[in-house]
Amino acid sequence: MTSQPKRQGMSRRDLLASAGAAAAGMLLLNEVSGADNPAANVGDRASSIKITGFKTYPVGSKTLLKLETNQQVFGWGEISQLPPTVVGPLMQSMFELLDGENPTRIEHLWQKLYRAHRDFRG
């Protein structure tokens, strides 16, 4: 009896199985990143929400910050590294940059604040 030599590499069956898995993965990726997926278009879906105001609340050595929107959605933050007497004027200058902006565009807002205040010289 002669035995068949072992094949090395990928068989036709393995190739078809891999191609099918790759195609299924691409379909799944398109479905997840598609336009109907709310996670894919958060900024567009909430484009009518705008930052309208802020309030500061001194609490001991910290300050609580309430950011207000036109949709009655509020965001809270805590500022602990600055004296409460400094936070109000600082927030007023930052609010001028944030007024009317979409709060769901976090990276855009961060870049706007960073670039506006990075070149101050003293």
Per residue in 25-72, pLDDT tens?
666 665 555 555 544 445 544 478 999 999 999 998 899 999 999 999
Burial of 23 per CB tally in 10 Å (0-12, 13-18, 19+):
exposed
Q: Are strands 74-79 and 51-59 parallel, antiparallel or unpaired?
A: unpaired
Long-range Cβ contact pairs of 5-9 (< 8 A, separation 24 or more): none
pLDDT over 70, % of the chain: 70
Cα angle 32, 35, 41; round to 5: 90
> 29 vs 23, which has greater pLDDT?
23
* pLDDT band (50, 70, 90) for residue 20: confident
**Residue 112: what are its φ and ψ, rounded to 5°?**
-65, -45
Looking at residue 1, its pLDDT comes to 58
Q: Whole-prediction pTM value?
A: 0.56
How much is the average pLDDT of 77-103? 90
| Spatial separation of the C-alpha atoms in residues 11 and 13, rounded to whole Å | 5
CATH code for residues 46-117:
3.30.390.10
Tell whether the torsion through CA atoms of 22, 23, 24 and 25 is positive or negative: positive
Ranked by mean pLDDT, the top range of 10-14, 66-70, 116-120 is 66-70
pLDDT of residue 39: 46
Mean pLDDT for the stretch of residues 94-107: 90
From the CA atom positions of the chain, what is the Rg in Å?
Answer: 27
